[in-house]
Amino acid sequence: MRGPAWPITALLVGYPVWWALGFGGLSVIVLAVPMAMVLWRRRPIRVPRGFGLWLLLIAGYLVSGLMLTEMPPDTYGDLGPGRLIGYVMRLALYVAILIMVLYLGNLTESELPQLRLVRLLGVLFVTTVAGGLLGVFFPSFAFTSPVELLLPDWAAGNSFVQNLIHPTAAQTQKVLGFASPRPEAPFEWANAWGSNVSVLLVWFVVGWWVHGGRRQKAFVAVLLALAAIPIVYSLNRGLWIGLGLALTYLVLRLGGRARVLLCGAAAVAALVFALSPLASLFAQRLDKPHSNDIRAFTVSATVAAAAHSPIIGYGNTRNAMGNHRTITTGRTQWCEGCGHPPLGSDGQLWLLIITQGFTGAALYVAFFLGAIRRHWGDRSPIGLAGVLVMGLVLLYMFIYDGLVTPLSLYLISFALLWRNHLGDVS
């Protein structure tokens, strides 16, 4: 916590404290202030290649605010505090994340060694596994945070804000046809937990297995075994697909002895899993794909609405009339089952399409594709891991909303790739 690198340590190691206080994913906005102060003292500031795309993304989001009062066909709702709060929070997060990347890239190796940053992410992985186990074994755990107590009711009662400021261990959903908890602590919702645990797992393995001794490797093996419990109980098919693709990527890109060891470890892990009680829960989830209908409706309605403002979008999400089962306008007192997720809630790509149009979505995709293209030749452990995370970003944009915490981890991973390149150049 000493020196100019303390804000990133406070963010990653201190995240459980931020979560308990009610800041959680919003902590990056708070810590962007001291990060910006560090940057101000270090002018001129160096920037990574391709970062102009992120600046254009933010500029486009500012322009999209002009459409907050507009309603595309077949949607409903009025301009109110919820829509404005969501817009301002997303804008603040986009700017804070920009500051964070520039801050990380302008710290020297002596101020923040690459391995230390990787291991800080590994610490957050340990926290994430602990939160997942809390959600499995104590799913009803929740409490009112200090931020929640201080906010006025009209703000704290907003559903988007409530997810950010009210700490809970799990989300209870009827994914299997009956109510079952899905771990989410210490993040804002279950899908954020799924995205984050996979990204953090990559860096945990790099920091504590690849660059670890025998004790560290033994710790990694034990923690990965424990992590399998909330990973399966999360009922998160996107997470499972992501882990499968990550394994395939590593098998293809690693060579020689490393590939053989990875295949052997994967085979042993698969056998142990198949013989464990977790296998039956995994099979039950695959047999219950009913959420596909909800996603299909929301995605198609999102694209149809965005087609009426394809360049700048609508600034924030909207609610579609009806859902995948009925033409009823939405959740009402007499039809509690008529509700549906807001447009753009089924993935960052769809969120960008409704909020910033197809232009914003194209900028987002180009930013991460460019990172993969530029750093594909970096075959160091950090280079391989960083490109893998960039690939997971492009997969998860179809199924996970990147805001709030996932996008912070995506951009820290991007910063690690950039810092690795700076090290090669120097």
Largest CA distance in the chain: 66
What is the reported pLDDT for 323?
A: 59
What is the reported pLDDT for 159?
A: 76
Q: Compute φ and ψ for 168, nearest 5 degrees.
A: -135, 155
The alpha-helical segments, DSSP class H, found in 65-150 are 81-106, 114-137, 146-150
Which pairs count as long-range contacts for 139-143, CB under 8 Å and 24+ apart, including other chains? Answer: 139/169, 139/170, 139/172, 139/181, 139/183, 140/169, 140/170, 141/168, 141/169, 141/170, 141/185, 142/166, 142/167, 142/168, 142/169, 143/167
What is the reported pLDDT for 291?
A: 63
Residue 224 one-letter amino acid: L
Q: Residue with structure tokens 């609610």?
A: 319
Q: How far is CA 302 from CA 63, 103, 249, 296, 337, in A?
A: 19, 35, 31, 10, 20
| Cis amide linkage into residue 44, ω under 30° from 0 | yes
State the Cα–Cα distance between residues 385 and 404, nearest whole angstrom: 22
Evaluate if residue 170 carries a pLDDT over 80.
yes
State the Cα–Cα distance between residues 392 and 199, nearest whole angstrom: 8
State the Cα–Cα distance between residues 96 and 90, nearest whole angstrom: 10
The alpha-helical segments, DSSP class H, found in 234-290 are 237-253, 256-274, 278-286
pLDDT in tens, 59-69: 999 999 999 99
Radius of gyration of the chain (CA): 21
Instruction: Tell me the whole-structure pTM to 2 decimals.
Output: 0.92
State the Cα–Cα distance between residues 394 and 275, nearest whole angstrom: 33
Mean pLDDT of 329-353: 71
Residue 357: closest CA among 343, 342, 370 = 343
pLDDT in tens, 379-400: 999 999 999 999 999 999 999 8
113: left (phi over 0), alpha (psi -120 to 50) or beta: beta
- 424 vs 171: which has the higher pLDDT: 171
Query: Residue 312 has what DSSP assignment?
Result: T
The SS3 call for residue 13 is coil
| Cis amide linkage into residue 186, ω under 30° from 0 | yes
Mean pLDDT of 98-105: 96
What is the reported pLDDT for 334?
A: 46
* Contact between residue 355 and residue 304 where contact means Cβ atoms under 8 Å apart: no
Q: How confident is the model at residue 1 (pLDDT cuts 50, 70, 90)?
A: low
pLDDT in tens, 181-196: 899 999 998 999 999 9
